[in-house]
Amino acid sequence: MSRKVVITCALTGSQDTCAKNPAIPASPEEIATSAIDAANAGASVAHIHVRDPETKLASMEEHLYAETVDRIKASGSNIIINLTTGPGARFVPGKDDPAVPDPSTTLKSPAERVKHILSIKPPVCTLDVASFNFGEQVFVNTPEHLREMGDMITAAGVKPELEAFDTGHIVLANRLIAEGHLKEPPLFQLCLGISYAAPATPESLLHMRDMLPPNAVWSAFGISQHQFPIVAATVISGGHVRVGLEDNLYMERGVLAPSNAALVERAARIIREIGAEVATPDEAREIFGV
């Protein structure tokens, strides 16, 4: 039998991108509909951020997560829910005193960042095992905060998807696993092409893959123009894939993606043309251990 490859669809993200592509969903209804459409196109996992429906900017409001998840469940869709815990990690130093955060800083406590996980208890949530320069801001996830978040996520019975943006993040994740803050077998997501982190190249992909624990299940994605080349490289290298409007706004140069489903459909074609098969949600549950 051909290998089963799981497609995760990252639906909307937290960047201020809605004005750049009108297909990006913003309200709970739009995000839920996009998840359902992505599932019909071949996605087994929906990675979900939420946005303020009025401003279309990133939000951490628990009720927006709850409404989005409820709408997906009410539709009868079998897609696996994967909620983010990434928001609440941005630090911008003040201009006059860098020790005083700029008002645009979003740093929150571990408890605030996982409160929606503890109430909703999705099968999967992300855990960014990463501190690095993210564009002009600093993305901050200290080891102590990660230990706290890992413990709370594990106690809630949720599977953390460990987001690694560079090699040192895998070193830290392996340490947290060894300390018992994250259960085995671990689930990793290799995040490639983000400014000032690992580049979206086959060499980076293979190097990071080879640093993972032997029992790890892993996926990868590349942003922007690297999305589909990394899909192909990941399938060939034994991993699972992620696509979606969070990571890439285009089908090809100058052509905006009309939907998340269109990106999923293209990823599914690549998977099949390489000789693998697209996993169903039930198959993905078995693969991911959820």
**pLDDT tens across 224-266, in order?**
999 999 999 999 999 999 999 999 999 999 999 999 999 999 9
pLDDT tens, 24-43?
Answer: 999 999 999 999 999 999 99
What integer pLDDT is reported at residue 1 of this predicted model? 59
What integer pLDDT is reported at residue 286 of this predicted model? 97
The whole model's pTM is what? 0.96
Tokens of 129: 């095992």
Confidence of residue 61 (pLDDT cuts 50, 70, 90): very high
- Residue among 247, 259, 262, 283 at smallest CA distance from 45: 283
The H-assigned helical ranges of the chain are 28-41, 62-74, 110-120, 143-155, 167-179, 202-211, 227-236, 260-274, 281-288
**How far is residue 178's CA from residue 180's CA, in Å, rounded to a whole number?**
5
Which domains does the chain carry? Answer: 4-288 (3.20.20.70)
